[in-house]
A and B are shown apart, each in its own frame.
Chain A
């Protein structure tokens, strides 16, 4: 054999068997991992929004009997601390099934349906939204489908199909797939968000440091036509739920973003929303309309300390009304 051909042969023999084994290994893992019930592979590939919605929808059927169930958007998800309420009402069970504003009232109706289908019962239901969720866009409606079917996303292409299970499933331990920005700095990866929500009765916190200067725009409460069709669907589910007490909760906004127009539009909007849900004006919870901007992580989400203080004031109101 000529020297050059010999050298090619040596290199080939060093590389080829390993390449064949690598291919077999990747194929084998790809066919084993999708049956992983934790869905780690799929979780690693989705956004924080997708993670939250799927996590809530997946656990909704197994929540069971609760004393207070919170529905709504992310201002509720990240604005309520169930442990604070449970400390205020010993022996009571509090759960949060709120997710993100994009799911809208229809998504909350679907969430409630999943809760009820698993045998869930709630003595009291609190439905809460912040101003931004009331101006519902039809473009968000795709999220309702995610609530109805929260099964993991399917791989987008062949490369994902065969490499993702190894990347996110096997190597995920030493090579975490981090969430971007402040969520990554606080939660790490998507599976940790899910774990946190499971450990905290469905609630989570917004880790962002505060409201950005460019977001300091006065708030106006606006409702959209598509909001009301969703509210009708949610009203039907609330009636089906058999809950004795149903309240509406308008989540607070930063004091610095409130103007006289904010107050005027708020009163109209929340009375219309409550009416569409079949909730009397008297059952709109009296909680602070505005809170100091320093207690917010963003324009719509309370900060870690802000949500604890707000939950305590909510506890006082609930104690007066529900218990």
Chain B
């Protein structure tokens, strides 16, 4: 089920009540959370539950086998088998049609009449996030950074934990699995923080993300012929994807906090980044650290020659792009970021020593890279890229641009004001220090906005498709 649904508004209070009523014993709590997670996932499609559970128990067993193996070779075989099986499942569901499409294209170029018709495959919700979390766990056990979990219920609860099941944050076993080993009783501070994060997440997602979505949809069209629509649409999408995914992540962290569990923050004011590497320390943090620890470093990271390091960056970012979606535009998006990361290294950028003008210039250049990246990320076809880039020749201002500019400016000001306030605080994501009346007014205002936006047709979380 989606966080932004009536079902979740019924499901979560019940889950919260029952979780607090059961005896505070680790096994009972893990068992209840597993049941709750299964119900949560089954609301989307119960058939894929078996796949998710199967993958979870594959890694549970593989980790135990790695732990029990006597030789490094046996440990590695277990790891390779588990990771390969997971990547094959991910590859089948996510990349089969991409592969077939490209084979058909290549066959066409070569004059072949071979048929590569796409298959009717449904991408299981959350499989990309779930796979990465499970792979990270098994690799951590193989690296002997953690011990294999012996309790299957605790492990299944960790791998299927409903707040972060479908779109992250991608948690490490050392952080989250350990929490399932001890009884959890949420503190007053955790509940207060959780309510604030959930409300903030809903406001970002529903009011700003969903609110600006129609502007993005109108601008990103093969039929649109105005240059300003390309420009404003790209700005609007930058706001939409941030509000949408950051909002989702806050709801995930908030619901977990209300139950007493800690999840990682996925965003740290990314549009304030002063360089591409700074951007990736702030955007989808749990994915970028995953890519760093489980892909970039194993490839050699920055340890070899400079050229090798740049090559590694490009590979990692291209694969990161492909992880987002099985299409060439995502690969181009990843390569753009890989190129930008390499370029900032080549020019020897150092944020700590740079002067104010250099920092400002780098900030603007980074934002430009990010925006071009979002354009590539959002387009749906090469035809659309050609149409929208071609439209830049016509800079006629039509009434839609008034509407788009107003929405972009309004959302930017709202987000900037929020983030300036947050950045000045010691704990950016703590609830505001207000009297009961003040808090009621702030929460009430946000709640009213969220409720009013339910009149708009449903806009699914962008990252659900990945």
Interface residues of A (CB under 8 A from B): 3-4, 6-8, 10-11, 14-15, 17-26, 29, 159-160, 163-164, 166-168, 170-171, 173-178, 182, 184-189, 192-193, 195-196, 207, 209
Q: List 21 A-B contacts (CB under 8 A).
A: A7-B185, A10-B188, A10-B192, A18-B199, A21-B443, A29-B448, A171-B211, A171-B453, A173-B406, A174-B208, A174-B411, A175-B207, A175-B211, A175-B456, A176-B406, A177-B214, A178-B214, A182-B223, A186-B226, A193-B399, A196-B399
A310, B408: Cα distance in complex, Å: 37
> Contacting A185 at CB < 8 Å: which of B20, B21, B229?
B229
Complex interface: chain A residues within 8 A of B210 (CB)? 175
Interface of chain B residues 195 through 223 with chain A (CB within 8 A): 195-196, 199, 207-208, 210-212, 214-215, 217-219, 221, 223
Query: Are A166 and B452 in contact, CB atoms less than 8 angstroms apart?
Result: yes
A21, B444: Cα distance in complex, Å: 5
Query: Are A176 and B403 in contact, CB atoms less than 8 angstroms apart?
Result: yes
Complex interface: chain A residues within 8 A of B360 (CB)? none
Query: Are B402 and A171 in contact, CB atoms less than 8 angstroms apart?
Result: no
Query: Are A26 and B207 in contact, CB atoms less than 8 angstroms apart?
Result: no
In the complex with contacts A175-B453, A185-B229, A14-B403 CB distance below 8 A:
no
A160, B411: Cα distance in complex, Å: 24
A3, B185: Cα distance in complex, Å: 8
Q: Which of B47-55, B317-325, B434-442 makes up part of the contact surface?
A: B434-442
In the complex with contacts A173-B406, A185-B218, A14-B453 CB distance below 8 A:
no
> Contacting B399 at CB < 8 Å: which of A6, A170, A175, A195?
A195
Tell me, rounded to whole Å, the shortest Cβ–Cβ distance linking A206 to chain B: 13
Complex interface: chain B residues within 8 A of A22 (CB)? 443-445, 447-448, 451
Query: Are A25 and B414 in contact, CB atoms less than 8 angstroms apart?
Result: no
Query: Are A185 and B224 in contact, CB atoms less than 8 angstroms apart?
Result: yes
In the complex with contacts A11-B195, A14-B192, A176-B215, A160-B455 CB distance below 8 A:
yes
Query: Are B399 and A18 in contact, CB atoms less than 8 angstroms apart?
Result: no
Query: Are A175 and B439 in contact, CB atoms less than 8 angstroms apart?
Result: no
> Contacting A163 at CB < 8 Å: which of B24, B196, B451?
B451
Query: Are A171 and B214 in contact, CB atoms less than 8 angstroms apart?
Result: no
Query: Are A17 and B439 in contact, CB atoms less than 8 angstroms apart?
Result: yes
A230, B210: Cα distance in complex, Å: 45
**Which 9 A-B residue pairings sit nearest by Cβ, starting from the closest?**
A21-B444, A175-B211, A18-B443, A188-B403, A17-B440, A166-B452, A174-B410, A22-B447, A178-B214
Cβ of B398 under 8 Å from chain A: yes
A24, B451: Cα distance in complex, Å: 13
- Given A18-B439, A166-B451, 4 more A-B residue pairs with CB atoms under 8 Å apart are A18-B442, A23-B448, A171-B207, A175-B210
A188, B214: Cα distance in complex, Å: 9
A195, B399: Cα distance in complex, Å: 9
Query: Are A7 and B191 in contact, CB atoms less than 8 angstroms apart?
Result: yes
Cβ of B104 under 8 Å from chain A: no
> Residue of B at shortest CB range from A26?
B448
Complex interface: chain A residues within 8 A of B10 (CB)? none
In the complex with contacts A7-B20, A22-B447, A26-B448, A14-B406 CB distance below 8 A:
no
> Residue of B at shortest CB range from A4?
B20
> Residue of B at shortest CB range from A30?
B452
Cβ of B258 under 8 Å from chain A: yes
> Residue of B at shortest CB range from A182?
B223
The contact string, 1 if C-beta is below 8 Å from chain A, for chain B 426-466, is: 00000000001101111111111101111110000000000
Query: Are A209 and B400 in contact, CB atoms less than 8 angstroms apart?
Result: no
In the complex with contacts A18-B443, A25-B448, A185-B221, A178-B403 CB distance below 8 A:
yes
> Residue of A at shortest CB range from B441?
A21
A167, B455: Cα distance in complex, Å: 7
A100, B360: Cα distance in complex, Å: 53
A7, B18: Cα distance in complex, Å: 12
Complex interface: chain B residues within 8 A of A15 (CB)? 195, 443
Tell me, rounded to whole Å, the shortest Cβ–Cβ distance linking B272 to chain A: 20
Query: Are A17 and B400 in contact, CB atoms less than 8 angstroms apart?
Result: no
> Residue of B at shortest CB range from A193?
B399
